[in-house]
Each structure stands twice: as C-alpha cells, then as structure tokens.
C-alpha cells in the first residue's frame, strides 16, 4: 500500500445506539483523509450479544457451539452494515464486510476460534478504490465456511490481526474509557491515565483484572510488535500506547494496581504430608475441568499440612465436589470454602530491576490492617489474596504507597 | 437422493417468539422420519426485518442497497440458528446454513436479487448424514460473495428454488392461515379454503392482492412444475395445493375474489386527441420510475379526451409531478387525483371456457349500487376500480354471486 493504513476498532458501547453510530461515522470521516487508508473494526451494538445469547439459552440449556457462532456473529454484521450506512449518509464511500468476506480463516474451535490466516485482498481492493472499509469484528470462518467467533472481546483480536495482515501503521482501540489507568478510576479518584505501557505489563494487568482489552489480542500484538493506541471514542484526548519496550519512560517499578473478586478459596485441611499427594489433589481438580490459580501449602506440622488454592467462583461447585472426592481418597480432613476473598496486585516491568517492592507492598497492607491470606508472584507482578471487603482500601493504599497519583 | 426430500418453509409469524420456535422444532422433528430427508427454510423472527429497516432509515434516508442486504440478511441467520438450537434441544441432529453456505448464487440486484444457481452440495452431504437441514431464507450471494436479498417474501423463493435444485418431492409453505381462501376470510366469513388451485390462478390472485405467497416464487414453481402445499403452522389440517392443472376439479369459472386498496387514480383532463399523445404521457410517467397499472381513455368528444390511470399510492407524489409536467407539455388540462379507490377482482382459469362471467360481475355490483370507475381484464381475471368505501360490500356480493360459499 502506498499510503499509511490506520486500523480503528470501536467497541459495543461506542455503537450502542443510533446517535453513537452517527458519532462514530463522523469521527471516521474526520480521520479519513486523502493521505491515508482507513479500516474500521466494529463490535455488536451495546447489548445485542447478551440478548442473542439469552434467547439461545431460553431454547436450549446447552446450545451447540456451531449454532451459537451462527447466531452471535449476526450482532457484528448488523453493526458494520449500520456503520457503513451512516458513513454513506455523510457522503463518504464505505463498504462493510463480514469475517468471511475478508477471508478471516480460523480453526474450528467454535466460540473461541483462533485465526489461522487472513487473505484480505477484498480489503486492499476497496482501500485502493478510496473506500473506508468496515469489518465485522469477533468472527471468521473455518475452511468449510462455517462461521466461527473468537471469544468475548474478539473484536480486539480482529483489529490486531488485520493490523498485522495489512501491515498497518497504527491500530487504535476505541472504548468508553480514556485509556489504561494506574488503577480503576471508578474506585480510586487519584487514578492516572498511563501514557505508555509495555505489552508484558498490559498482559499482566489484563490477566489480573483490568478489563480494557482482551489478553489474546495483546499477545498477538506483542508477537508481531504492533503498537496499540487505546483511547476513548467520546473524546479527542490521546489515550494509552501499548508498546514493546518502554525506553522513554523513567524507571518506574510499579505501573498499575489491579483487583479482582472473581475467585474463591478452597482449603483441604490435614492433608497427609507425603510425596505425590499434591499431584493427586490437583490432578483431581483438573479432571473436573477447573483451572486452579494460586496454591499455598502451609508448613507441615505433625506430618499433616493444609493446602489452599483459588478457583474461579463460577467453578466453585465443581471444584468443591472434586476436592471432597480427592480428600476422601487421600484420607485428608475437612474441605473448607471461602467466597469472601479478593486479589489485589501490583504490576510493573520495573520490578525486575528494583528491590524491596514486595516488602513495600506488604508494609502498605499492614499499615492499613489488611491481613494477607495468600501470596503469588510473577516476574512483573505480585498478588495478595485478602478479605473481599478490604479490597478497595487495599487498592487505594497501594496506589498511594507507590506514588502512582504523582505520575505525569 | 435415495429417500423422498421434503422442503418446509416457515414464515416470520411461525417463528415470532421462543415458544413458536420450539413449536416449529417439534413439528419438524415429527415430520422427519427415517424414511425421508427434511430441508427447512425459515424467515426472520416476527418483526425483525421491519425493526432493522427502521434503524437503517433513522441513520440514512437513502441507505445503500448493498449495505441494506448485509443488514437485513441477519434476520434469517438469527432464526435459522435458533431453530437449529431448538431442534437439537429435542435430541435430533440439525445444522443451519446461510444462503452463502448452501451456494445460493444470485445476480447483484441488491434488495431484489434473482437466483442464478444453487450448488447445494453441503445440503446433500448433511442430509446423507441424517441431519435436518435448516436454511436461512430470503438471501443469497453474488459471484463476489456479497450478500443479496430476494425481496419481500423472498423466503418462499428460497424454498421453491431449493425444491427445484434438490428435486424435492414436496414443497410445503407454512404460514399463519390455513391455506388459500376464496377471498379474505377476515373480511368475508363465508370464505372457503380452496383445496386445489393452479399456478396461473394463484399468480393472478397474488398480483391482484392476495398476500399469502410471493408472486415470483409461484412463477418459479410454475416454470419447474413444483407442486406447492400452502398450510398453517398452527394446525395439522391439509391446506391448499398449488398445481399446474386442475384436472380433478369440477369446472368452476371463478376460483376467488381479491381486493386491493393500494392504488390511486390520476386523471389528465382535456388531452388533445392526437396520435402519439398517450405515448408521451406514459413515457413521462415511466421515466419517473412509476409503474402504471390500469389505463382508461374516455371516448373522444370535441377532439379532447380524458385519460385516467392507476399507480401505487406510494408513488402518487412522483407520478403526479410527472403527469403535470407532461400535461403542460402536451397542452392538456387539469391533472386530478383520487386516493379513495379500490380494486375488486374475480380470478379463475375457468373463465376461458365460460361465457357471461363479466356480465355477471357487473350485474352483482349494480345490484348493490356500486359504481364501476375503471375496468381491466386478463385472460383469467376481471378487475373493477370502485370507491374504496364500497370494496368490502363488493367482495361479499361477488363471493355470493359466484357461489364461492358453496364450494367443498
């Protein structure tokens, strides 16, 4: 392509109703100049996806995945057609495409398919004709042309994958917030917008609770080194750049604070302290189809130990049943559950080169009389499991301790 | 195919909500036995099509046709996915397909495309695997895989075209009425369900106001001699068979009565009675994109004549403007309009061999003091334009005169 290619992705809240669709159309036509090519990826209107899903579940408790994809993909087809209609009302040339039409081929893992290839000739042709190209996000087709969807947040993935396939110069993700924040600004008023963040930090923040972008999309952007600009569709402000390395930035140890109340804790008491016991427990849990996250084993006393672990709250019933079964088998004691827990995490690539970050975190929590029940660390994050009713206090305390309110 | 193939088409009212979708699913699974193959064509849920259309017009007064097809085709995609989900809930194998997936190729006349070919291999494969095949009606794709729609009522056309392509044994059109009636049973309680009707009669009735089936679908059924069974999705009663010739039936002159209030009358007064004047008038109207229906020219007096014609009410403004322009050019007099007219028609292949049918019609209207303003005849129908407020009386009078209440 001779001119710069810009990819813009608009989320469901950006196209939630007729007025917002018109506003996005105006924004698009302002971006499109004679000197660039513009490809827009769009999610389903507001709550369409939830409504379609609800209908399917009213009909069938276990709707087949292939048919769910057939159903759910219509949401994005509707919004891309309406957006093209809105752009044409502004006297600009536009054309909408489904995932099938732009040759987004996926594997056949319905409802969570992975993109295999993107042909994209139709996009290139339409761009060369001066048209604004509008692509239905979240969808592709198998080799057999069966419709697939890419999982929740899959429109981000469509945008990033198109950016890679078309060798785009910018990939902008438009959402209903101004960018990525040091922590959730709805909970902490001192939260600051982060100007630049690395893919690794963003991935860590996404997996620990920040909900701005789908983790898989960030992984793909990281793999192909596609810079992402996360910004608001309701303002002209610059948002947050997600990039490979953060050379310009001063050496900040902690980039952001996340929290997450979606997990529950299970404790198996009085586990016989023998080799292979942990393996037995977590093989049992895994066979029940449950992903375990943090695991803590207490120091052994009297040849018995307590083993605690966290699981998604949605899987708690399954996990408890599996835990009780295995506890009985290995002659352990009681199995306890605790749903009133939350995770608070600090994230930052700078941790690699800074000392004392963990100590500082624990100190901040102690100063606020917050008891730590479990601890988990990764290369660029530290998470603590605490009582759920203390989580907002913990976030505020950590945000202050690491002086994130003083950024910018 | 080794086993009989049954095509069933369900209209929007048959799948208007979750309960009706479930009811259709039950009906389908009852039809499907080990000894047949079943292909179901489905329209959009209830008012979906109207809702999508309304959204588009809120955004753009003249939404582009290609994008409208992209938008409108989602209605049928939703209903075929939901129906497949409902059939699977009953533990039967089912698979849904879009028009694209079953290879329904059309020309590129968006919003009113014509089917060019149907490949149908995917249907044959799925049938041979014992699956109930559910196809989104009303849609196809161009050679370039752009989505097209077949016009209002286009799902009927999908069903008939699939019946032809798959060499089906039966094509059943399920609707919210019991079949084709001698006249509209909502208006005339003596209306009788017609057991058998010919393609020609049905075509004439459809074009004259009967709204049960799309005329183009009947034309295709006629061309390929595909018998159609029109019946209700809410009962097990036999409906109406539409067939090539009606050998079994006694020799009935008039098969049905239709009425239609969708036209308006335009009269150009004092038209100079010269050769070529009519041509000028109707070239002018035609250039305005208006289809003229009945034309009546009064007997010339004093070298001037009045010319009246009917046009669809929706085109009245355009037609009036064009008529005034041409009237000025040919030095004719005033242009008058009349919206308070209606058409009442009698239809029957037997007319060809019966005498005095027209006289009997005019007599029935006269007996009821109904003035005839215009008359139009075809080989198997006679239509009269009358005052709109007399149309129901006219239909009842004709229904009685031709003893249609005594059928069966």
Over the stretch B374-395, which tens digit does the pLDDT of each residue have? 998 888 899 999 999 999 999 9
A78 CB near a chain B CB, below 8 Å? yes
User: Chain A closest CA to B143's CA: distance in Å?
Assistant: 12
Q: Does B21 touch chain A (CB under 8 A)?
A: yes
- Do A82 and B71 lie within an 8 Å CB cutoff? yes
Phi/psi region, residue B391 (left: phi>0; alpha: psi -120 to 50; beta: rest), is alpha
- Give the HSE-up count for residue B99: Cα atoms under 13 Å, Cβ half-sphere: 36
User: Is any Cβ of chain A less than 8 angstroms from the Cβ of B90?
Assistant: no
Sequence-ordered list of residues with C-beta below 8 angstroms from that of B302, at least 6 positions apart, any chain: none
Confidence of residue A213 (pLDDT cuts 50, 70, 90): confident
Is B86 in the A-facing interface, judged by CB distances under 8 Å?
yes
What percentage of residues in chain A have a pLDDT greater than 70? 97
- Chain B positions in Cβ-Cβ contact with residue A55 (cut-off 8 Å): 18, 82
Give B64-111 pLDDT, tens digit per residue.
Answer: 999 999 999 999 999 999 999 999 999 999 999 999 999 999 999 999
Q: Name the band, by pLDDT with cuts 50, 70 and 90, for residue A395.
A: very high
Q: Find the angle CA(B387)-CA(B392)-CA(B397) to the nearest 5 degrees.
A: 100
CA–CA separation, A178 vs A194, rounded Å?
10
Q: Which of B48, B61, B62, B71 to probe by mutation at the A interface, max A CB count within 10 Å? A: B71
In the numeric block, the tokens 């972008």 are attached to A213
Place of tokens 């005498």: B355
Considering only CB atoms, B60 lies closest to which of A59, A86, A145, namely A86
Does A146 reach chain B within 8 Å, measured CB to CB? yes
ipTM: 0.82
Query: What integer best gives the mean pLDDT of chain B?
Result: 91
Domains of chain B: 5-176 (3.40.1160.10)
Query: Is residue A382 over pLDDT 60?
Result: yes
Alpha carbons within 13 A on the beta-carbon side of B291: 5
Asked if B133 reaches chain A (Cβ–Cβ under 8 Å), the answer is: no
Is the distance from CB of B312 to CB of B330 less than 8 angstroms?
Answer: no
- pLDDT tens figures, A333-368: 999 999 999 999 999 988 877 888 888 999 999 999
- Contact (CB<8Å) A56/B82: yes
Q: What gap in Å lies between CA A290 and CA A281, rounded to an integer?
A: 12
Per-residue pLDDT averaged across A61-69, rounded?
A: 96
Q: How confident is the model at residue B404 (pLDDT cuts 50, 70, 90)?
A: very high
Q: Using H for helix, E for strand and C for coil, what is the string for A130-176?
A: CCEEEEECCEEECCCCCEEECCCCHHHHHHHHHHHHCCCCEEEEEEC
Chain A residues whose beta carbon lies within 8 Å of the beta carbon of residue B73? 77
Task: Inspect the interface and report whether the beta carbons of B21 and A59 lie closer than 8 Å.
Answer: yes
Q: How many residues does chain A have?
A: 408
Mean pLDDT rounded to a whole number for chain A: 91
Assess A84–B contact: CB distance below 8 Å, yes or no: yes
Spatial neighbors of A51 by CB under 8 A, at least 6 apart, are none
DSSP assignment letter at A107? -
pLDDT at position B186 is: 87
What pLDDT was estimated at residue B246? Answer: 64
Say if residue B319's pLDDT is above 80: yes
Of A329, A316, A76, A400, nearest in space to B78 by CA:
A76
- CA B33: distance to chain centroid? 32
pLDDT digits (tens, 9 = 90+) for B7-43: 999 999 999 999 999 999 999 999 888 789 999 999 9
- B60:A101 CB<8 A: no
Chain B interface includes A23 (CB < 8 A): no
pLDDT digits (tens, 9 = 90+) for A22-43: 999 999 999 888 789 999 999 9
Give me B102's structure tokens: 């079953």
Number of A to B CB contacts under 8 A, please give it: 107
Interface test with A, best of B64, B73, B90, B133 (most A CBs within 10 A): B64
Q: Which residue of B has its CA nearest to A136?
A: B70
A18, A48, A84, A85: best mutation site toward chain B, by most B Cβ within 10 Å?
A85
What is the DSSP code (8-state) at residue B298?
P
**CA of A319 to nearest chain B CA: how many angstroms apart?**
27
What's the gap between Cα B253 and its chain centre? 23
The answer to whether residue B1 scores a pLDDT higher than 60 is no
Contact between A257 and A348 (Cβ < 8 Å): no
- Looking at the complex, does the CB of residue B53 fall below 8 Å from at least one CB of chain A? no
pLDDT at A197: 92
**B297-304: which pairs have CB atoms within 8 A and are 24 or more residues apart?**
B300/B273, B303/B272, B303/B273, B304/B270, B304/B271, B304/B272, B304/B273, B304/B333
Q: Is A101 on the interface with B (CB under 8 A)?
A: yes
CB contact under 8 A, A18 and B74: no
Which of A22, A60, A84 minimises the CB distance to B67? A84
Report the largest interatomic distance among the alpha carbons of chain A, rounded to a whole angstrom. 79
Mind listing the pLDDT tens digit for each residue in A102-138? 999 999 999 999 999 999 899 999 999 999 999 999 9
Query: Do residue A101 and residue B146 have CB atoms under 8 angstroms apart?
Result: yes
How would you classify the pairing of strands A263-272 and A304-312? antiparallel
User: Which string of b and e fits A274-286 if b means at least 16 CB within 10 Å?
Assistant: eeebbebbbebbe
Q: Which residue has the higher pLDDT, A179 or A250?
A: A179
The pLDDT value given to residue A57: 96
Rounded average pLDDT over A209-224: 86
Q: Do A55 and B145 touch (CB under 8 A)?
A: no
pLDDT confidence band for A378 (50 / 70 / 90): confident
Task: List CB contacts (< 8 A) between A144 and chain B.
Answer: 122
pLDDT by residue (tens digit) across B235-254?
A: 999 999 999 886 655 567 89
* Largest Cα–Cα separation, chain B: 79
- pLDDT(A20) > 90: yes
How far does CA B392 lie from the centroid of its chain? 21
Query: Which alpha helices (DSSP H) does B106-145 contain, by range?
Result: 121-128
pTM of the model: 0.84
Q: How far is A202 from A191, CA to CA, in rounded Å?
A: 16
Distances (CA, A) of B173 to A138, B41, B153, B236, B238: 35, 9, 11, 13, 12
Average pLDDT over residues B305-333: 93
B78 in contact with A, Cβ within 8 Å: yes
Q: Tokens for A206? A: 């996404």
What was the pLDDT predicted at B351? 84
Does residue A375 belong to the interface with chain B, where contact is any CB pair within 8 Å?
no
What mean pLDDT do residues A240-257 have? 80
Nearest CB partner across the interface for A85, out of B22, B56, B86:
B56
Q: Could you say which residues from 215 to 234 on chain B have a Cβ atom under 8 Å away from some Cβ of chain A? A: none
Quick: pLDDT tens for B327-376: 999 999 999 999 999 999 999 988 877 888 888 999 999 999 999 999 98
């Amino acid at each position: 392509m001779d001119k710069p290619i810009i990819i813009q992705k608009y989320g469901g809240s950006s196209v939630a109703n007729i007025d917002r669709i018109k506003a996005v159309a105006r924004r698009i036509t302002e971006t499109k100049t004679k000197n660039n090519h513009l490809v827009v990826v769009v999610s389903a209107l507001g709550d369409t996806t939830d409504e379609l899903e609800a209908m399917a579940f009213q009909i069938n408790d276990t709707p087949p995945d292939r048919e769910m994809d057939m159903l759910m993909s219509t949401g994005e087809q509707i919004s891309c057609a309406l957006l093209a209609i809105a752009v044409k009302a502004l006297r600009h040339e536009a054309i909408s495409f489904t995932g099938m039409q732009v040759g987004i081929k996926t594997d056949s893992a319905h409802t969570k398919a992975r993109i295999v290839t993107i042909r994209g000739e139709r996009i290139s042709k339409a761009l060369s004709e001066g048209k604004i190209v509008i692509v239905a996000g979240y969808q592709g087709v198998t080799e057999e042309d069966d419709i697939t969807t890419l999982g929740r947040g899959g429109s981000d993935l469509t945008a990033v994958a198109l950016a890679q396939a078309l060798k785009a110069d910018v990939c902008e993700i438009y959402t209903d917030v101004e960018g990525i924040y040091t922590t959730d600004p709805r909970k902490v008023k001192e939260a600051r917008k982060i100007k630049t963040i690395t893919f690794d930090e963003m991935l860590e923040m996404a997996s620990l609770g920040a909900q701005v972008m789908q983790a898989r999309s960030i992984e793909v952007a990281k793999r192909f080194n596609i810079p992402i600009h996360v910004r608001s569709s309701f303002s002209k402000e610059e948002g947050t750049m997600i990039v490979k390395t953060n050379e310009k930035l001063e050496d900040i140890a902690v980039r952001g604070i996340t929290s997450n109340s979606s997990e529950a804790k299970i404790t198996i008491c009085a586990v016989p302290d023998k080799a292979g016991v942990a393996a037995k427990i977590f093989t049992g849990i895994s066979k029940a189809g449950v992903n375990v996250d943090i695991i803590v084993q207490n120091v052994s006393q009297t040849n018995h130990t307590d083993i605690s672990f966290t699981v998604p709250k949605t899987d708690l019933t399954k996990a408890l049943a599996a835990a009780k079964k295995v506890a009985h088998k290995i002659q352990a004691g009681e199995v306890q559950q605790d749903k009133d827990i939350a995770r608070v995490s600090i994230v930052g690539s700078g941790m690699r080169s800074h000392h004392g970050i963990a100590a500082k975190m624990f100190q901040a929590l102690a100063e606020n009389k917050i008891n730590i029940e479990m601890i988990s660390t990764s290369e660029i994050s530290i998470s603590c499991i605490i009582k759920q009713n203390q989580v907002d206090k913990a976030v505020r305390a950590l945000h202050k301790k690491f002086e994130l309110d003083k950024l910018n």
